[in-house]
Amino acid sequence: MAQVYVDDIIFGSTNDELAHSFSKLMQTKFEMSMIGKLTHFLGLQIRQQNSGIFLSQSKYAKNLVKRSVRGSLLYLIASRPDISYSVGVCARYQANSKESHMTTLKRIIKYVKTTTDFGVWYSKDKNDVLVGYSDADWAVNADDRKSTSGGCFYVGNNFVS
């Protein structure tokens, strides 16, 4: 599996031979350096264990508490699905914020402050079944009568989107 972001690439495999072959092939085409076991990537902290991988943004979350910017919260939801709904609702009112929205944002920041080490756990699982769930409320928002919908997907036991 390989992940490319602008000029950064990370890759890995459950087969060491395949990872080594891929590395050799990439080095013939591109100038690159091998940094070894992945521990950080684009602000994510990565802890690899035999039973799975844990992704978090704890350093970012700790700095966010000092800044408390709405856009920063939107970036944090990459590894924090527990706050994605509430941050998304607050983001709706970014152009026309009221004091109640700022109070809600402060409450989210307080929650993040007490949960900075939260993240997403991806277990090593042989189950590769893709399962999706979705839901919608039709025009329930009292402010603008817009609908809210959402969904999530799992590969095996791992939340992926």
Residue 103 exposure: Cα atoms within 13 Å on the Cβ side: 3
**Given this model, what pLDDT does residue 69 score?**
65
**Given this model, what pLDDT does residue 65 score?**
63
Q: Are residues 82 and 111 in contact, defined by beta-carbon separation less than 8 angstroms?
A: no
Task: Give the other-Cβ count within 10 Å of 131's Cβ.
Answer: 11
Using alpha carbons, select from 116, 148, 154, 122 the residue that is nearest to residue 135: 148
Handedness of CA 60, 61, 65, 71 (dihedral sign): positive
The residues pairing with 56 across neighbouring beta strands, listed in sequence order, are 45, 119
Residue 137 exposure: Cα atoms within 13 Å on the Cβ side: 7
**Given this model, what pLDDT does residue 1 score?**
73
Q: For every one of its 161 residues, what pLDDT tens digit does the chain have, with 9 covering 90 and above?
A: 777 777 777 787 777 888 888 888 888 888 887 777 788 877 788 888 888 888 888 888 877 766 756 678 888 888 888 898 888 888 877 777 788 888 888 899 899 989 999 988 888 877 888 899 988 887 777 777 777 778 888 888 888 87
The pTM score is 0.57
**Given this model, what pLDDT does residue 43 score?**
79
**Given this model, what pLDDT does residue 88 score?**
84
**Given this model, what pLDDT does residue 115 score?**
92
Query: How far is residue 144's CA from residue 161's CA, in Å, rounded to a whole number?
Result: 27
